Structure 1
Amino acid sequence: MTKEKQLVELVDALEVEMRKQGQWQQHSPSVEALSSQEPFAIDSLTPLEWLQWIFVARIRLLVKESQPLPKGFAMADYFEECWKEEQMMKPLITIIQQIDKVCRHA
């Protein structure tokens, strides 16, 4: 399986898990919130908002437009720290760890 296909499946799994938990939002944050220049838009979005509206959206756009996928990044540490007290987030963290692994050497 190609790295691209693996990443698409993991992004889909991320959405499914977020929906299962009732975390998938129907309405986008404001343009200003989405325009943050901070890592993970920490100053304007929650971690879940960043996942949905920045990460998932960007990966899907890159795939749709046949653009190179990001590589050499790691997100899991951030989300592990954000959700260290929230057991229900463990399935999301597991998926994020798998995304990191696929993209580490994409």
Structure 2
Amino acid sequence: MSKLKAIRELGYDFNAEGQLRKIGANGCLSNEPFQFNVSNDHLECQAHYEQLGAAVTEHIYQLLEKEENLLRLPVPVEAPESSTFIFASKDYETKDVLLILIQGTGAVRAGQWARS
């Protein structure tokens, strides 16, 4: 599997409103949104879409950890290398009430509602 590319390496970044936008030829953020067709090769377009989706997912995970102070905890705890994970508040062990959100399957991950 290839190295996960960062969003900027793929030619995108987020504007002040949190919208994903293309980086222009001048290196500055433009108002142009994501476009699936980056070439005439559908497989290349799909691969670019999947790389960008993975980069956005990792960016959101970092925001959840840094901005929201959530912990990424392995599930099951005993097998962190081969497990999945959840996000939890740093003080979850001391709370009387917990809210649990479970994501579905597919490309959309924690912190995302859709990829459109």
Query: Which of the pair is proportionally richer in helix?
Result: 1
Structure 1-normalised TM-score? 0.31
Higher relative contact order, chain-length normalized (CA < 8 Å, sep 6+): 1
Query: Which of the pair is proportionally richer in strand?
Result: 2
Structure 2-normalised TM-score? 0.29
